[in-house]
Structure 1
Amino acid sequence: MYVLHICHSYYPPFLDCARQYAALFKDSPYKVVTVYLTGKPDPEVERGSASDEVVFLGYSSKQVKGLKLGAIAKIRQLVKSRNFAFCIAHRAKPTYVALLATGLPVVSVHHNYNDYGRFTRRILVNFYRKRILMLCVSNSVRDEMRQHLKHWPAEQIQTLYNRIDVDAVRQSLLPRQEARRLLELEDDTYVIANVGRLHRDKDQATLLRGFAQALPELPANTLLLILGKGPLEQELKALASELGIAGNVRFAGQVPEARRYFRAFDLFVLTSDHEPFGMVLLEAMAAELPIICSDSGGGAEVVNGYGDLFSLGNPHHLSSLLIARSRLPQAANSSADILHEKFSDAAARKHFFMLTFIKDLLFI
């Protein structure tokens, strides 16, 4: 028996999402065929997909707009060649392709808010509702989707958290001194880090304001290190200058495989105001960093029981937590239990096969 696995693309972070769902079927009788609608064939992507077979349809994003008839025809031919039990489709477009190209039950995975906020987007999924399970990456995304699809039974809109290969991520981490050397950080610098796109959703402006308020009470050698690029880079740099903290803030730009350097940091802060999940938080937990996170969306669920939460958009609250954290001993936080129990491949596999839709489908 085969599982058809349709992804829009393999660009970060979706290659890892593909790996996560293929890993659900490790040591099972099911073989996974992963199909990427867009993107050219790539041997590294094949290896990273953790699938039994990978198919690249090779479309551009522009080519799969509208009804995506070409993709539908190719998926239909593929389905005729195997004994597929069901399909997993990530995001709305691959879900539409799966529904129109096949008669298979579809597990539709959603990584963002508002996927079905528009009436026109709800028409097709409502028509095919009896063969769809909606899986959301956090309870926050799930609850919003239940509001948009109010007449759907609750058991058809569920949560399956994103996860990491905990051991693999930890093995990829550079030792603290090496990571600091590569990032050009002094050994005695107290480093507060933020990793993410420089975009309004990530709200680094609140981070800068909270840091500016806290700075007089932080260690004298404190640095705020911001990794990432985006449309707000110049605006955020101007804000740092306006707040008089430019000398204590470094915008490091895009750092490939940034998670490898996490042991260089002393504290990780995420200020997002619209975070469906926050994979970067799992990576920070794998590095056993203390974490401060806004109390908004899926990020708050990820760090619950591990990190500190501040009121969304409140630099005063953030400032007080930055100061308090800087005064605590720098012992490593223990994240092992939380990661293995909630955010590991094994935990996801156990939860997935207990879902009523999957149990009924596979006669478990």
Structure 2
Amino acid sequence: MKPILHVITTISRGGAENQLLVLAGEQVASGEKVSVLYLKDNPDLEEDFTNLGVEVISQFANLNPLRQTVLIRKYISNQNMIIHAHLPRAELITRFSVAHQIFVVSRHNAEPFFPGAPRFFSILISRFVTRRANLCIAISKAVQNYLERNNEISPKSISAVVLYGYQKNRILNSRILYDASKSYQIGTIARLVPQKDLPTLLRAFALIVGDVPNATLSIVGSGPLERDLKELAEELGIRNKIDWQGKRGDIDKYLQNIDLFLLTSSYEGFGLVLLEAMANRVPIIAANNSAIPEVIGEFPETLFETGNYLDLSKKILASLSLQSRKTIVQRQILRLEKFDARDMSNRIKALYNQLDHNI
């Protein structure tokens, strides 16, 4: 197969970035030559990529977008490779840079290509990219439906759904779930941004602490809403019950030390953190929207009405039962088999080969 160049906006820690790490690692393991070119910010995952045998291209990082486009176009002009772009800025710059190469984009979010811009402009730019792309990969059926419903991809564009994958060697073989009578540690991993709807989480937690005085809440993540969320926690009288942990790299260790994982997002393109929680045998309760039921399944005890903190609080209280949590975990482990990293990589490889044959 031709060499593969992944272009991505950042290689900071995040869902799309972590999943690219999985994909690139699987591609290298199958004998492919793989490079990752990132455009901005601190390269948190650079060492992780390098350790997998992936070349990290940093020479264009943190330049202005016009200069990046000119230099990247020159860099790839004579190279016969597959170029796979991830996230809007990377897609757009790659769109202006590619010449004759196979051009693939992955859409990781069920949101406008250009959030905050007028809808017509987001559609215009999104279609400008996808018209040139030979293939648009959606990471979930929810993302594909969003693109089609909101006209962000032309009906003539070729698209496919390839679900995220998880590496089997990271799945915890066993774990003891403890009775909730002594302590009950609830946790979440989320950027502190509006999409994650953390006020719903805080309000639900405030409702249950009276019934579960030994409950604590830890929040892993950072973002612009940190001050507002801490003020809300103060108003709700739960400030001393919350551990704001900021960013962490040791996610598996964190997940293995909580009793219940919550995800309150108003939408998710996929929600890689759900696979991470499933692999660490943590029972999950999450908002019933977008791709979330695709990932964890449509079981009433694990899904709550989006934005409804009363419903969430009831689901949390129901999870106090040890048997209830064991049942949730058993379902999740079976569900996780659907998201095999090698299967994901092989599916993408087949799509690459099909494009290479047809072009």
TM class, shorter-length: 0.7 to 0.9
On the 8 A contact 1:166/1:339 being kept in 2, the answer is no
* Conserved 8 A contact 1:193-1:265: yes
Higher deviation after alignment, 36-45 or 90-99: 36-45
Aligned length: 345
Q: CA deviation at 1:46?
A: 4.3
Which TM-score applies when normalising by structure 2?
Answer: 0.82
2:187 maps to 1:193:
yes
Cα contact 1:9–1:36 (8 A) shared by 2: yes
Q: CA, structure 1 residues 83+354, in 2 after alignment: closer, same or farther (shift >3 Å)?
A: closer
| Cα distance change on mapping 1:83 and 1:29 into 2, 3 Å | farther
Cα displacement string for residues 180-215 of structure 1 (whole angstroms, at most 9, x for unaligned residues): xxxxxx993211112212222211111121122233
Q: Structure 1 residues 187 and 251 mapped into 2: Cα distance closer, same or farther (>3 Å)?
A: farther
Would you say 1:203 and 2:175 are equivalent positions?
A: no
Alignment correspondent of 1:101: 97
Deviations 1:29-73 (A, max 9, x none): 64223222336889615425x45533222431xx333xx244433
Determine the C-alpha separation between the residues in 2 that align with 1:128 and 1:28.
Answer: 28
> For residue 183 of structure 1, what is the aligned residue in structure 2?
none
Q: Give the C-alpha shift of residue 130 in structure 1.
A: 5.7
Cα shift at 1:77: 3.2
SS in 1 for 2:326: coil
* 1:352 match: 348
Report the Cα offset of residue 272 of structure 1: 1.0
| 8 Å Cα contact 1:263/1:289 also seen in 2 | yes
* 1:12 and 2:20 are equivalent in the alignment: no
SS of the equivalent of 1:194 reads strand
Answer with 256-265 or 236-245: which moved more. 236-245
The residue that corresponds to 1:111 in the other structure is 108
Match of 1:182 in 2: none
Q: Does 1:239 align with 2:242?
A: no
Q: Confirm or deny: 8 A CA contact 2:60 2:68 kept in the other structure.
A: no
2:349 maps to 1:339: no
RMSD between aligned residues: 3.4
Q: Is the 8 A contact 1:6 1:34 kept in 2?
A: yes
Query: If the length of structure 1 is used for normalisation, what is the TM-score?
Result: 0.81
* CA–CA distance in structure 1, aligned partners of residues 43 and 309 of structure 2: 46
Structure 1 residue 106: Cα displacement:
1.1
Q: Is the 8 A contact 2:167 2:342 kept in 1?
A: no
Query: Structure 2 regions of 5+ residues with no counterpart?
Result: none
Query: Who is 1:140 aligned against?
Result: 142
Partners of 1:344 and 1:303 in 2: how far apart? Answer: 14
Q: Residue type of the partner of 1:304?
A: G
Whole-angstrom distance in 2 between the partners of 1:274 and 1:121: 19
In the TM superposition, what whole-angstrom CA distance separates every residue of 1:81-105 from its partner, at most 9, and x where no partner exists? Answer: x432x21111223223333322212
Unmatched 5+ residue regions in structure 1? 178-185
